[in-house]
Amino acid sequence: MEALKLLRQAIDYVEEHLNSPIEIEDIAKAAMSSRYHFQRMFHSLTGFTVTEYVRNRRLTLAAEDLAATDFKIIDIALKYAYESPEAFTKAFQRLHGVTPLAAKKGNVKLKAFPRLSFQIQIKGETEMNYRITEEKALTVVGKDFIILKDAYKEVPGFVEDIWKNGTHDQINMVVGKPAGTLLYGYYFDFNEDGTKRYMMGAELQEDSGALEGLTVLHVPNQTYAVFDSRESIPDDVEIGLEIQNVWKRIYSEWFPSSNFEQVEGPCIEKYYWADNTQTDSICEVWIPVRKKE
């Protein structure tokens, strides 16, 4: 209940300040959260960034003003915190598919991006198993790519590709592990536009071989909340559905009901074969956290 109340406070703050400059720090404060944690939570729960939400709400109201008032385009642009009519026109056309002038003339289709609302959803979910642990700093090496929009869709394809093209075993060879050893997944470089990097890799030892074409990532000392799941590995490309569910439940159930918040640092997926058949795996999700102040 308290978490929902705080999220509503943040949305209320946004709605009250759509006609003025908005800082993400101030939105996060309305939810009694750090900027970093609020951005991760908001994106995970809604599928878009805080900046995208603010922009789309402003452009929705701007479209209403254009269609229903005699305000000049430049006045509407300034009203919704755009520095110039050109910037406003570019953003407006990207969302609505038409120019502000066309919208003002009428008889065109416009998009409505409604205000967010959060509700309690009663589920029959099982309990979540987790532990809080400390992890020492380490250096890892692997292959990475940029997640542009949807990690749930983009990561499985990337993992499948490096397994098939030999990169997976190249990394194992560099770090001195047997072929077929499961690598860990690292999410890092979280950006405000919603993009982030994902790397499949392993801990790098001082006596490792050549690293050409690979990425080196330094992971600092951290406190982690660790969640585990067990899944059967299917024969098709639908790999990782269970771990995707764990990620969703962490942000929709665990964080809103816990006294922890996420802090900066790589998030990790640690994979292990459950037995020698290599058909069942155990995956742990490691998220850097701290107790809320």
- Do 165 and 94 fall into the same domain? no
Out of 73-77, 113-117, 163-167, 260-264, least confident range? 113-117
CATH number at residue 88: 1.10.10.60
- Residue at 124 is within a domain: no
- Do 148 and 285 fall into the same domain? yes
- Residue at 206 is within a domain: yes
CATH number at residue 215: 3.20.80.10
- Residue at 218 is within a domain: yes
85-96 vs 50-68: helix axis angle to the nearest 10?
A: 100
The pLDDT tens digits of the residues spanning 85-138 come to 999 999 999 999 999 999 998 888 999 999 988 765 555 556 778 899 999 999
The pLDDT tens digits of the residues spanning 78-94 come to 999 999 999 999 999 99
- Residue at 278 is within a domain: yes
Count of C-beta atoms within a 10 Å radius of residue 198: 23
- Residue at 113 is within a domain: no
- Residue at 53 is within a domain: yes
pLDDT of amino acid 60: 96
- Do 150 and 90 fall into the same domain? no
- Do 44 and 135 fall into the same domain? no
- Do 141 and 80 fall into the same domain? no
C-alpha 111/C-alpha 109 separation (Å) is 7
- Do 165 and 201 fall into the same domain? yes
pLDDT of amino acid 242: 73
pLDDT of amino acid 1: 54
C-alpha 110/C-alpha 63 separation (Å) is 7
35-46 vs 50-68: helix axis angle to the nearest 10?
A: 70
C-alpha 45/C-alpha 32 separation (Å) is 17
Where are the alpha helices (H) located in the chain, listed in sequence order?
2-16, 24-30, 35-46, 50-68, 73-79, 85-96, 100-105, 151-164, 167-175, 241-249, 255-257
- Residue at 85 is within a domain: yes
- Do 98 and 174 fall into the same domain? no
DSSP for residue 35: H
The pLDDT tens digits of the residues spanning 211-243 come to 788 999 999 999 999 998 764 444 443 445 677
Structure-derived torsion over alpha carbons of residues 269, 274, 275, 279, reported in degrees to the nearest 10: -80
Q: Which sign does the torsion angle of CA 62, 66, 70, 71 carry?
A: positive
Owning domain of residue 215: 130-291
Out of 18-27, 250-259, 276-285, least confident range? 276-285
Domain total in the chain: 2
Q: How confident is the model at residue 5 (pLDDT cuts 50, 70, 90)?
A: confident
Q: Which sign does the torsion angle of CA 201, 205, 210, 212 carry?
A: positive
- Residue at 150 is within a domain: yes
* Per-residue CA distances from 284 to 106, 218, 251, 264 (Å): 54, 20, 15, 19
Is the pLDDT confidence value at 253 over 60? yes
- Do 136 and 101 fall into the same domain? no
C-alpha 225/C-alpha 250 separation (Å) is 10
The pLDDT tens digits of the residues spanning 140-187 come to 999 999 998 888 889 989 999 999 999 999 999 988 899 888 899 999
- Do 77 and 142 fall into the same domain? no
pLDDT of amino acid 277: 59
- Do 51 and 184 fall into the same domain? no
Q: How high is the mean pLDDT of the chain?
A: 87
pLDDT of amino acid 265: 95
- Do 158 and 283 fall into the same domain? yes
- Do 30 and 144 fall into the same domain? no
Question: How much is the pTM?
Answer: 0.82
